[in-house]
Amino acid sequence: MGDAKDILGLPKLGERGSTEKRKTPKDAIKKPDGIHREVYALTGGLPPIMPTLDPVSIKKRTLPSKKISWQWLPFSTSARTDNLQLYHWVRIIDDSQPSGDYAFAKYNKVVDSIRYTDEEYNQLLVDSSWSREETDRLFDMCEQFDLRFIVIADRFTPPRTVEELKHRYYSAAKAILQARAGPNDDLSDHSFFKDSYNVNHEVERKKALNIILSQSRQQDREDAEVIAEARRITEARLKAKGLEESQVSTRAALHVDTTPARLPSPAATGDISFLSVPVTVASTTSVQVTPVPTPASAPSSTPVQTSAPIPASTTPVSAPPPVGPRPPRVYLRGAWLAQQIHSVVSPAGVRTSKRVDQMLEEYGVRSKPKVPTAAVCAEHLELRRELLNLIQLQKQVQYKENELAILRENPYAEIPATPNTPKRPHRGLENERVSTRATAVGAEFEGFPSSGKPSFHIILVQ
Amino acid sequence: MSQAVVGKKYGIEQTEVSAIQRMQRVKIARLVDDNDKKPMVGRVKGVEVTIPIVYGSISFWLGKKAAESTHKWTTYVRSATNEDLSVLVKKVVFQLHPSFEKPTRTIEAAPFELSESGWGEFEIGITIYFHPDVGEKPLELFHHLKLYADDESIPQTTKKPVVVESYDEIVLSEPMEASFGRLRNHPVARVTGNPSSPLVLPAGESSLDRKGRDTKDHALVQWFMKHSEAEDLNLLTTARQQVWAAAAKLKKELGSLENEVLRIKATTH
């Protein structure tokens, strides 16, 4: 900064008789040692508030106390069976070498290989589809390739499938182990026995995987849809059955009717497992789905069934969901009324339901009747319905008025389907309305010379 | 025995009488059998049984000398007409505040009530369990226990309790046949509707005498409130009339407005 001022020839702060030889500010300002002047100037020419590194300490680094050097040395590893001598760099600390096995020997995992004697072969392992040489070759390769059956299958002559090879190897090994095991040995922990190889299952599984893999994207989507639907249906059925079961447990066990409900569900789950034949299943399940609009309400006392898999609803379910107009089997009237109200009013929207509550207050009626008898509840519900009706009527009237207003201003205007005109407050302005109507009518009357019919009167009926 | 006498009196053959007796016995046996083996044959369609109940609490202040629990209160579920609820209700479970010892209290006999002493107000969960032959899930209610009166100007007195009761009705729609048989003649319930199918029911239990199970002579009966639907009904009917009138007016207005619009459209288009 001091330099800049010099360059520009600007007077410096605290100028003292400037024509004299100027003490270059460089020396005056330079305070720190260890860092360059310009770096110091970056901080604004002031020492930092927090103590940072002592500049003196930056110069030197502590020399390591120990003496470290590197040497090119031979080594041996337990992982190698031959006596190959290899060399590598070794870090020597204070003239002593690190000891211990080669660090990477621990990663040399091997599979215990099982070999049989001739007697064992003749006793246990004679098989119609496997000759002695083939079995020998198989076991050799297993040992060589660490049970990597894919590799073995590629190299096996005559060619055999992976499943066959696995099956032969595992069954042979199991037989051998069992024969060798004494009475005290516990083989059930051995992985061959814990996860025994099931060749048929494996074949099926791989076939299925292949099918899935080779399916086109569209088929994938179809499958996903069908599975989702099936899941939804079974869940609904399970829920209904769960409700049923909790009721059945309170009653005597001899209830014949529930059995038909149990039969269809295995059929339904059976459907899901056959989804590997996607297209046809999609059509059949869609047939099942449509006649069950709300699966939860299917178990009601009215006979509802089309295709067989839907549970026969002759089973009396004691707690059907209180949906719509159907009441539950046992309920408190107050709570039931609240539900009915909700189902009646809520489709109209939150604002209207609040408006209904407001109007109820205006009429002095409580939103929940104090004594909910049947008559009272019915009246209450009817009142709410009528209030809803009233509100809708009010909206219609308002809309019509808006239409009229538009028509007045522009008789040829097209009334839009949705009322996007500015809303007019409809309450308490009836007089105004009447007057505007009158004046507008008068104006129209004058502007229509052709309509000279004297009988063209507007009778405003209120 | 008397039957035989009657038979002789009316000259009916002895054998015939005994045959009739046997038939009657068989009939009764079959009925009883039916009842034992298939208690839930089915539901009575087209019928609704209403049991009006009242649930709530009565709380007495224990006076200035009271220690930590300043109030003694009783919470209960009773029939609105003070009849015996045990024909329908097997037990009532009151769930109290966790600070009470054993907060889940089960009352298995009428009168279904619970008395305790305490100092705090809280929400009591009431679960009503029905008899097995009613075959329904338990009903849950909630009641806020009130100890202190709203009007704070009146000082507390040990003589007058704070009573909060709520009226509600248990409705069994399409009840099970067995319980229906019991309930239909019992004063605790009101039956609406007609059974759509012919019934073979055991006789109602109204003939059985259950003394002391109703609440007509309860200790606190003087404090029970009267719940009448009259007030609500009146309010509702007047409100409905007003709303109906307003709706009619609006309809007329709508009609005239519609005419206006049509007229204008007709003249201009």
pLDDT along chain A (462 residues), means of 10: 70 49 47 70 70 66 75 84 86 76 83 85 86 90 90 90 91 87 74 84 92 84 91 91 74 46 42 43 41 40 38 34 61 85 81 85 82 85 87 87 83 58 46 46 46 47 50
Nearest to B137 among A252, A330, A380 (CB): A330
Q: Is A302 on the interface with B (CB under 8 A)?
A: no
Q: Which residue of A has its CA nearest to B249?
A: A462
The first and second tokens of residue B140, run together, are 């849950």
Contact B72, B89 (CB under 8 A): no
Determine contact, residues A274/A227, Cβ cutoff 8 Å: no
Hey, are the CB atoms on B137 and A370 less than 8 Å from each other?
no
Judged by CB atoms closer than 8 Å, whether chains meet at B167 and A370 is answered as yes
Please report the pLDDT score of residue A69 as a whole number.
85
CB-CB under 8 Å, B246 with A379:
no
* pLDDT of A231: 94
What is the number of alpha carbons within 13 Å of residue A46 lying toward its C-beta? 4
| Cα A390–chain centre separation | 45
3-state secondary structure chain B: CHHHHHHHHCCCCHHHHHHHHHHHHHHHHHHHHHHHHCCCCCECCCEEEEEEEEEEEEEEECCCCCCCCCEEEEEEEEECCCCCHHHCEEEEEEECCCCCCCCEEEECCCCEEEEEEECCCCEEEEEEEECCCCCCCCEEEEEECCCCCCCCCCCCCCCCCEEEEEEEEEEEECCEHHHHHHHCCCCCCEEEECCCCCCCCCCCHHHCCCCCCCCCCCCCHHHCCCCCCHHHHHHHHHHHHHHHHHHHHHHHHHHHHHHHHHHHHHHHC
Closest residue to B135, CB basis, from A301, A318, A363: A318
Tokens read off for A381:
């519900």
Hey, of A250, A254, A362, A388, which one would you mutate to test binding to chain B, going by the most B CBs within 10 A of its CB? A250
Residues of chain B short of pLDDT 50, as ranges, are: 1-12, 26, 28-40, 203-210
B111 preceded by a cis bond (ω within 30 of 0): yes
pTM of the model: 0.44
Residues 6+ apart with CB under 8 A from A197: A166, A167, A170, A171
Looking at the complex, report in whole angstroms how far the Cα of residue A301 sits from the nearest Cα belonging to chain B: 10
Residue A272, both tokens: 């899901």
Q: Which of residues 350-379 of A touch B (CB under 8 A)?
A: 359-360, 363-366, 369-376, 379
Burial of B50 (0-12, 13-18, 19+ CB in 10 A): middle
Of B38, B43, B169, the CB nearest to A316: B43
pLDDT score, position B31: 47
For residues A266 and A272, what is the distance between their CA atoms, to the nearest angstrom? 10
Length of chain A (residues): 462
